[in-house]
Amino acid sequence: MSGDGATDGLTRRTQNSSRELLAKAFFFGCAALSVATTLSIIGLLVYEAAKFFTISAPLLGIDGPTATLTEFFTGSEWGLQGPNLGVMPLVAVTLMVTIGSGLIAIPLGVATALYLSEYASERARSYLKPALEILAGVPSIIYGIFAVAYITPVLDTLFGVDGLFNVASACIVVGIMILPMVASVSEDAMQAVPDDLRQAGYGMGATKYDVSTGIVVPAAASGIFSSFILALSRAIGETMAVTLAGGSLARSFDPTSLASYLSLFDPDSYLEPGMTMTAAMIQLLTGDVTGGGLAYRSLFAVGLVLFVITLGMNVLSDVIARRYQEDYQ
């Protein structure tokens, strides 16, 4: 986007040589590829998922078993035998992982951001920030192995876990994984708070504690909030760690009853196994996949739900983040 004004006139004459046009076309093609990627994701997910639903499948010439939208969104069981095609039991466990990992990542992440932004020396920052980057860089399959091999035994000693798989260990490793995202996005927001505000606080006799909690955090609130959403959307899309740690038990969950929502906050239910949307997708892969059967189509239906949720959260976080940028610029 640079070089728009002054240089345009100078370069116009040579701009239309075939070499220039070819170069431009190549670069444009690359950029367009990113749009094509998005369109293919959306198109593929919608098209394949449409074959899964009773309402649209006949239009696409599918005569195999299908699911109604009501069944899919209000069914209380997940399983491909019989009429059990509710996605909500999977969404519920995904929500549990989101809540659990958020409980770890959000307080720790904000505290980390505040420390790095307001308290840490330049030298401490130069060591802590790369260390935090490593937390985010460790592959999720490794976190899954950590959860099963090292964290579940600890949970077992502390709380008595029944069996090898549980949601709690998944929450812990996913929490560690998304912590750096909360920390770095929140820290950026805190750094963007103009120093004038801090000086004004000190000028009124406020302590560093007062300034941090009373000025910096509120002023950066929208950025901090957007970091939560961004990090939680990562937790929702997380696959390997929750697959290895959480197991593959499709819980039953009745989306029409209040009690089942309350059970999401019951600590005991975190000590039991549970299958998230992503874990169910991995499990479906061992089933009837490329042949185009029910499992293949349901895979895309679940994928579509996952995509819509994470996309929605990304857009939301973007909108919130843009607001705070406008505040101080």
Partner 1 sequence: MAKQTDGVSRRTFLASAAATGAVAAAGCTSNTGTETDGGLSGDINISGSSTVFPLAVAMREDFTAEEMHPNVDISVNSTGSGGGFTNYFCTGDTDFNNASRPIKGVEEGQCSDNDVTPVELKVATDALTVVVNNDADWFGEEGKECLTVEQLAEVWSAEDKPTTWSDVNSDWPDEEIQLYGPTDASGTFDYFIEEVIGEEGSHRTDYQSTEQDNQIINGVANSEYAIGYMGFAYYSENTDRVTALGIDNGDGCVKPTLDTASSGEYQPLSRPLFTYPAQSALAEEHVAEFARFWLENSTSESIVADEVGYVPNTEDERDEMLDRLDSAIEAASE
Partner 2 sequence: MSGSYDGFGRVSRRIGKLFRGVLFASTLAGILTLAVLLVYVANDAFQPLTADPGWHLVFLLTLVVPTLATGWLSYRRSYGTLATGLLGIVMPGIAALYAGGLAALFIDVIPTLVWLSFVIALAIPAGVIVALRRTDRSVPFLAELSAVLGVTVGSLLVVPGLVQGLPTVPADWMVLVLTLGLPEAFLLGRWIEGRWGRRDGWIAGAAILVGSAVGGVVGMVSGFGAVPGVALTLFALVPTGLYAAIVVRERPDRRIGLLLPAVIVVGMVAGELLVGALGFAGPESWVDWSFLTSTTQSGDPRSVGIYSGIVGTILLMFVVAAIAVPAGVGAAVYLEEYAPNTRFTRIIDVNISNLAGVPSVVYGLLGLGLFVRYGGQPTGTLLVGGATLALLVFPIVIISAREAIRAVPDSARQASYGMGATRWQTVKNVVLPRAFPGILTGTILALSRAIGETAPLLVIGAAQVFGVPDSWTSTIGAMPLQLYVWASTYASPAFYTTVLAAGIVVLLTAMLSMNSIAIYVRNHYEQR
User: Where does this chain bind partner 1 (CB under 8 A)?
Assistant: 77-82, 84, 162-165, 247-252, 273, 283, 286-291, 293, 295-296
Instruction: Name the binder of 42 from partner 2, partner 1, none, CB < 5-8 A by kind.
Output: none
In angstroms, the CA 245 to CA 166 distance is 6
Could you say which of 162, 210, 266, 327 contacts partner 2 (CB under 8 A)?
210
Q: Should residue 195 be labelled a site residue for partner 2 when binding is judged by CB under 8 A?
A: no
Contact status, residue 64 vs residue 294, Cβ threshold 8 Å: yes
- Listed in sequence order, the residues at least 6 apart from 2 whose beta carbon sits closer than 8 Å to its beta carbon are none
Residue span 132-171 as binding mask against partner 2, x where in contact by CB under 8 A, dash where not: x-xx-xxxxxx-xxx-xxx---------------------
Residue reference for tokens 């904000």: 110
Contact status, residue 251 vs residue 89, Cβ threshold 8 Å: yes
Residue reference for tokens 């239309």: 16
CB of 302 to partner 2, least distance (A): 10
CB of 226 to partner 2, least distance (A): 12
Instruction: Name the binder of 14 from partner 2, partner 1, none, CB < 5-8 A by kind.
Output: partner 2
Q: Should residue 70 be labelled a site residue for partner 2 when binding is judged by CB under 8 A?
A: no
| Total residues binding partner 2 (CB under 8 A) | 105
CB of 274 to partner 2, least distance (A): 17
Q: Should residue 201 be labelled a site residue for partner 2 when binding is judged by CB under 8 A?
A: yes
Q: Should residue 274 be labelled a site residue for partner 2 when binding is judged by CB under 8 A?
A: no
Contacts 24+ apart (CB under 8 A), 45-51: 45/300, 45/303, 45/304, 45/307, 46/304, 48/296, 48/297, 48/299, 48/300, 48/301, 49/297, 49/300, 49/301, 49/303, 49/304, 51/292, 51/297, 51/300
Instruction: Name the binder of 112 from partner 1, partner 2, none, CB < 5-8 A by kind.
Output: partner 2
